[in-house]
Structure 1
Amino acid sequence: MKDFFKEFKNFAIKGNMIDMAVGIIIGTAFNKVVNAIVKKVIMPPLNLLTDGVNYTNRKLILREASGNTEEVAIAYGELIEVFVDFVIVAFTIFVVIKFINRFKTKSEDPKNQEVATPKDIELLANLEKLMKEQNKLLKSIKEK
């Protein structure tokens, strides 16, 4: 139990929690944008293509509302809308991650002069270069 709290403290202090909170806030805002795109941009043409069938309101009624009883229905139209939301979010995240990974790969290549190399990669590349020079010197001393 003590290790659990120590691990949580390290997690919170290292900024992972802040990064996660920022991600959640951006994700919530992004969700509103996706909902607007689906409801106001994608669904109307889809409804038009299906002769004005409004998918949001589509449902399979299991029991009609009568008197004191409420209607029981499966709202498959909302499921279609949520599925379209999901596809848009998944595709967008895929594109963003692919974009980030492309730059990450470029930045980790010490021979690529196009993108500024991170300090740790640059130091490792310099260390490798120095070790090669040292090996050449040692080899030439041994040969003499």
Structure 2
Amino acid sequence: MAILKEFREFAVKGNVIDLAVGVIIGAAFGKIVDSLVKDIVMPLVAAIGGNVDFSNKFMVLGAVPSGVPPTLADLTKAGVPVFAWGNFLTIVVNFVILAFIIFVMVRQINRLKRAQAEPAAAAPSAPPEDIVLLREIRDSLRK
């Protein structure tokens, strides 16, 4: 019974919930970046570089059985060892774009935090009551 109570306290903590939300949003964001690379970036690269589809770029490393079409999907399905460098390149581009977007987001969040912290630090806090009282006594003694 105590273990269930402990687990409930652990699961409801803010950090665990924040982590779960971050993982879910990260997975969805990964799909968005994958689509960005696949549907926008790579077609632009293909238009500039001349109709290049990196996902189907590979090098066969073993013997190809007869009757197997020379496509990446069919060769891997047949168990032929294939060096799929184009697929790897696509995944690296996905990673670089995702890392850059996350960097820009974190940088912007840090800027906003600094902008909020600066005005609070710049505004002097009111002196304590005893200091105010001592200043009044000092000023009255001067007169």
Choose 1 or 2 for highest CA Rg: 2
CA distance, structure 2, for counterparts of residue 19 and residue 82 of structure 1:
27
Matched ranges for 1:89-100 at <5 A: 89-100=98-109
For residue 107 of structure 1, what is the aligned residue in structure 2? Answer: 116
Instruction: Output one character per residue of 1:23-55: Cα deviation in whole Å (capped at 9) or x when no partner.
Output: 111111111111111111111121233332311
Matched ranges for 1:1-144 at <5 A: 12-66=11-65, 70-109=79-118, 110=120, 128-131=125-128, 134-135=130-131, 137-138=133-134
CA distance, structure 2, for counterparts of residue 141 and residue 13 of structure 1:
54
Tell me, what secondary structure is at the counterpart of 2:65? coil
Shift of 1:111: 5.3
CA distance, structure 1, for counterparts of residue 91 and residue 65 of structure 2:
29
Shift of 1:130: 2.5
CA distance, structure 1, for counterparts of residue 36 and residue 86 of structure 2:
16
Structure 1 portions without partners, runs of 5+: 1-5, 114-124
CA distance, structure 2, for counterparts of residue 99 and residue 17 of structure 1:
24
How many aligned positions are there? 124
CA distance, structure 1, for counterparts of residue 8 and residue 87 of structure 2:
41
Shift of 1:62: 1.1
Shift of 1:140: 7.3
Tell me, what secondary structure is at the counterpart of 1:129? coil
Structure 1 residues 48 and 96 mapped into 2: Cα distance closer, same or farther (>3 Å)? same
Tell me, what secondary structure is at the counterpart of 1:52? coil
What is the alpha-carbon root mean square deviation over aligned residues?
3.1
CA distance, structure 2, for counterparts of residue 29 and residue 87 of structure 1:
17
The structure with higher relative contact order (CA 8 Å, sep 6+) is 2
